[in-house]
Amino acid sequence: MSEALTIGRMAEALGVTTHTLRYYEQAGLIRPVSRSQAGHRLHSPADIEWLRFVMRLKATGMPIAQMQAFAALRAKGNRTAAERRALLIEHRQAVVEALQQWQANLAAIEEKILAYDAMVRTSDMTDDKANPQPSKDRPWPTTPPTTQTTTATHGDGTNSKKSTARPASA
């Protein structure tokens, strides 16, 4: 085997932990590897490429059971190419559907950002009191405030009125 990699170097090259690599081996995602005289796992450069692909499958949401099925087919050689292709076509469809959902979610977020941009521009140009439309994102009183008027009689016999707005009682 040319340029064998220890589990530590393999983990470093892939950006994963050695625990993850041991799990992948136990789960059957990595072919059994050779060992050094000291019993250390020795991986080939081809193992790196295979695991990068497995990690892409994982990152795109392929369940572990499907990854295991794919790895088992791969271990059987080229005679399973059609079955592996079918698994990848099925997974590609799931990825496309997930991507469409992500794009719809992104569009909704962008729409909300544009709405907030408009609110910010409006609030920059006008006072909050001049904008009678409440924001859907903040609570707004459902009943208008009550106005209380008091009348004071002065010593000279004149009256003055004072109006005070108070929140409506719940």
Tens digit of each residue's pLDDT (9 = 90 or more) over 69-96:
999 999 999 999 999 999 999 999 999 9
pLDDT digits (tens, 9 = 90+) for 32-75: 777 888 888 888 888 999 999 999 999 999 999 999 999 999 99
pLDDT digits (tens, 9 = 90+) for 5-24: 889 999 999 999 999 999 99
Structure token digits, residue 160: 């003055």
- Is 148 a member of any domain? no
Domain shared by 17 and 52, yes or no: yes
Domain shared by 57 and 84, yes or no: no
pTM of the model: 0.63
The CA R_g of the chain, rounded to the nearest whole Å, is 34
Q: Is 127 left (phi over 0), alpha (psi -120 to 50) or beta?
A: beta
Confidence at residue 158, expressed as pLDDT on a 0 to 100 scale: 64
Domain shared by 5 and 58, yes or no: yes
Confidence at residue 149, expressed as pLDDT on a 0 to 100 scale: 57
Confidence at residue 62, expressed as pLDDT on a 0 to 100 scale: 97
Domain shared by 98 and 136, yes or no: yes
- Is 6 a member of any domain? yes
- Is 103 a member of any domain? yes
When divided into structural domains, the chain yields a total of 2
Number of residues assigned to the chain: 170
Query: Residue 23: which CATH number?
Result: 1.10.1660.10
Classify residue 78 by its DSSP letter: G
**Residue with the larger pLDDT of the pair 83 and 121:** 83
Please give the mean pLDDT across all residues of the chain.
Answer: 83
Q: Where are the alpha helices (DSSP H) in 15-80?
A: 18-26, 45-59, 64-75
Which residues span the domain enclosing 119? 76-140
Single-letter amino acid, residue 12: E
- Is 24 a member of any domain? yes
Among 56, 21, 55, 58, CA closest to 40: 21
Strand 34-35 to 41-43 pairing: antiparallel
Q: What percent of the chain has pLDDT over 70?
A: 72
- Is 80 a member of any domain? yes
